Amino acid sequence: MSNAATVSQRISKPHLAIKGGYKLSGDLTVSGAKNSALVLMTASLLTECPVEISNIPALTDIEGMSKVLRTMGVKLKRQSETINLQAENLNHSDPPYELVNGLRASFFCIGPLLGRLGEAKIPLPGGCRIGARPVVEHIRGLKALGAFVKVEHGVVTASVPGINKRLKGASVVFDCPSVGATETVLMAAVLAEGKTTIENAAQEPEIQDLARMLNMMGAKVIGAGGPTISIQGVKKLFGCNYKVIPDRIEAGTLLIAAAITRSKLRISPVIPEHLSAVLQKLRDCGCQLKIDKKGITIIPGEIQGVDITTQPFPGFPTDLQAPFMALLATAKGTSVVTEKIYENRMQHVGELQRMGASIRLQGSTAVVEGVPQLSAAPVSGGDLRAAAAMVLAGLAAKGTSKVEGLNHLDRGYEDLEKKLNSAGSQIQRHEL
């Protein structure tokens, strides 16, 4: 196939056409946290009472989770940024494979289902193909609480023995601080009999958000946000009204968009403690940050290369590794980016190279030599954050870039091009 034909084939799919070189300015609003909203929606399964969750972003992943919950008998109604859920008639513990396979977070239903019904049947999850992301820790934790769990033909079947089908509190020690496993065991344990202790728990803000909502529902959770979480099981949970925290990954992406275009921009709402590692790296590479009670104003200077290693929270988040690499591709000097969380999260390197970035990839480490100017090219994001990185690179590139992978981008960013355009970018969506 000729180069011309290859290019034509690439741009025949839905894509964003991004004219690079425009400065950004003004204020941008951060949506609710996707990763928090998804797990909070599954937590509604723990009670028969109505649960109202606000600040829910409009994303395809949220739509997917809504479909999964409806198949299990949950009454769900969405109005603007608020979702009302009621699992009074929870009648299915086995959501369909075709829905669960495309949405990893749907696997988190297993904890609430086991806690409330004493049984669950969940297909192994899908989502972005960025690594193995096994559910071994989830299963070990549920077994520690007394569940019988087996995995056959890609389906996890779990049940609680005994007449009352109630899980038993236990000590759970994770080999690694898995966010998903921490959330799964936390939700399962709140209705268990007795006390559960989770050691080496994930400390992400989304864990803290989940624990706050569970406590509002009547749970007794202490220590979320630290390495040890204690849960005293209760017999019943109740409804609540809860507001999702701002999305720290979207906030970080927008701050990087300002940096890569060398533009002054204000982002709000932001909880700065949720982005400490990212904010420090932005300062290190030459950005001035003004933080107030509601948001952050970024004023980029000359961008210098910095080294980054992804780590569990409070370290540098893996979800911002790709966007930050796009920035470093335009920095002065050499940067070393090391991915420690997901083994396949360097899919964006080849696409950045198509745009003129100078990157040498050695396993899960990328050596980035900054170049004066990126060049527009047809590129594709192979996962959610890689797609965001391509958008950012397009903002800084000379010419018009065509970015595919919108099916990934729309999973985690609400109206990203509309927000950026409101600040001065030139992006057009072509659905085709």
- Per the DSSP assignment, residues forming a β-bridge with 334 are 369
- The span from the CA of 120 to the CA of 167, in Å, is 13
User: Token match 């999964």: residue?
Assistant: 68
- Determine contact, residues 56/34, Cβ cutoff 8 Å: no
The sign of the CA dihedral 136, 138, 144, 146 is negative
- Sheet with 400-404, strands from edge to edge, namely 378-380, 400-404, 15-19, 426-430
The burial class, CB within 10 Å (0-12 / 13-18 / 19+), for 320 is buried
Amino acid letter, 139: I
- The span from the CA of 308 to the CA of 315, in Å, is 10
Task: Catalytic residue, from 49, 109, 128, 285: name it.
Answer: 128
Q: Let me know how long the chain is.
A: 432
The burial class, CB within 10 Å (0-12 / 13-18 / 19+), for 431 is exposed
**At a CB cut-off of 8 Å and minimum separation 6, what does 393 contact?**
260, 326, 329, 351, 352, 355, 357, 374, 379, 401
Among 288, 298, 358, 362, which residue's Cα sits nearest to residue 328? 358
Active site residue 176: no
Strands (E), 87-211: 119-123, 148-152, 155-159, 171-173, 195-199
DSSP secondary structure, 5-69, as one string: HHHHHHTTSSEEEEE------SEEE--B-HHHHHHHHHHGGG-SS-EEEES----HHHHHHHHHH
Q: Is 101 helix (H, G, I), strand (E, B) or coil?
A: coil
User: Token match 């494979």: residue?
Assistant: 97
Kindly list the catalytic residues: 128
